[in-house]
A and B are shown apart, each in its own frame.
Chain A
């Protein structure tokens, strides 16, 4: 959800609703049902999470047990090896899975943009993982990646490798990365596909007349025209990869050991297994700010490059 808003936000701000004669409170009445709900179910929880981040509170002590402890939670986070371990894992997960998904999605998008037999069906097939719920997908992959008899290792047997996947602390994170790529490539390819259809046709024709190679055309025309899409996808996937904990809660519960305790799962664990609400809120807040800074940097770096070219 957040992603779309980030993308929309930059677009929205540049437009202006043309002024219509003020009709006072009538417009407010139209907004009221939504606004009241947003206040009750989003705004109040949002303020609460900020307040909670400055408290020491767990479920056992009840509402009366809330004590404000200033920035203690944030100091504790800075010294918490569990937190930094989780941040490190999340970085590995994001840095490996996101660029691979985007690059493969781009290749697939370009391929699917050609005339192909059964093209519409092909597109639908690659998109399919994206619309299926995480439990059905997780359960299936868990069994596919069974180290002894799963289909994946039956295939890999031909190459003489037998990863332990979710049973091994070395292979559990790579297993999640494989799943993330499988699940995200089709989505990226579709986004690229709709961008490719807007690509500047005359430029390709001009390049053909000049006898440009396919690679030159890609580098000079296609890639720059796809840059906004690439940024959008990077931001979307970075946020998605750093916030979701469902799959991990389902398959590995952060393990074996703490080999898949990413930051979102660490927060889930702190909040809903140890019921340390204050500390969990602080972790959530720090992560959110971190991801926000990271996405803004991505945005800016790419935009700067776009201007230079």
Chain B
């Protein structure tokens, strides 16, 4: 047996053990609840049934509206963050104006503040602004981020300044220099930032837990907690079917853009 397989076999066994919770999730979603805790564990559902998915998608407590809200929140956050962070990051890196470096230091100082610390003031503040219990409480802070600005600044600073100088000599204005010369170069970084912003928004549970109270405005992670019976016990099949649905969009992004996805995650360490 080759050395490749000597390492490969134990690692694959470990990988399958790692996947067990996901396999359990899918298996449980596809069987009646009475079989969920069968001893020994029954991996292949028998009877096999799609009922849980049908209920979760079309029943009275359908997750589809929450799914739609999560998409709405994520799209606006991603678009907003990409636009504002790209412009600001570019200006911090490639433009010069009074107080730029002091302002940037302020940005640096703000960036180390954990989001959890800001939840209490945001809770009060959003109530005053009338944004509490609306999706805007989730969207607005995500559209203007210090971190996105950092990432974009880091990229633009690595790009040669001569491009801009040459274009300015030819009479291009600042906006043109930005949109025609530097922006096209930034596509890979912008897509990395976009992926991060999307996953971050899609998976966020703590912010809506605090800032959203009306179940009609739940985003997807909150709505996964809806499936309980009269005794408050979790309904395994429905909860797992909804969980599978909640993973699909991130999984698609992950599979399609795997290289860029991993690069984005490993270079910034964000969750």
Contacts and interface: CB of A to CB of B under 8 A. Distances in A.
Interface string A209-250: 000000000000000000000001000100110011110011
A93 to B, nearest CB: 15
A125 B19 contact: yes
A139 B240 contact: yes
Interface stretch (A70-78, A147-155, A200-208): A147-155
B149 A34 contact: yes
Interface string B239-271: 110011011001100100010001001101111
Interface in A77-133: 111-112, 114-118, 120, 122-133
Interface in B51-106: 83-85, 87-88, 90-98, 100, 103
A12 interface: yes
Given A20-B161, A44-B125, A122-B15, A292 B269 contact: no
B114 A239 contact: yes
A272 B123 contact: yes
B96 A281 contact: no
Interface string A246-282: 1001100000000000001001100110000100110
What is the interface residue range for chain A against chain B? 35 or more
A284 interface: yes
Contacts of A284: 116-117, 120
In this complex, the member of B121, B144, B209, B224 whose beta carbon has the largest number of chain A beta carbons within 10 angstroms is B121
Interface in B151-206: 151, 153-154, 157, 161, 164-165, 174, 178, 199, 202-203, 205-206
A3 B270 contact: yes
A139 B223 CA distance: 12
A288 B116 CA distance: 10
A45 B125 contact: yes
Interface in B113-165: 113-125, 128, 140-141, 143-147, 149-151, 153-154, 157, 161, 164-165
Contact of B266 (A23, A137, A194): A194
A280 B8 contact: no
B89 to A, nearest CB: 8
Contact of B24 (A46, A140, A236): A140
Contact of A280 (B5, B93, B120, B140): B120
B44 interface: no
A135 interface: yes
B84 A37 contact: yes
B15 A126 contact: yes
B110 A8 contact: no
Given A129-B18, A191-B266, 11 more contacts: A1-B145, A5-B112, A40-B140, A41-B140, A45-B121, A49-B117, A117-B8, A133-B220, A133-B221, A139-B240, A268-B119
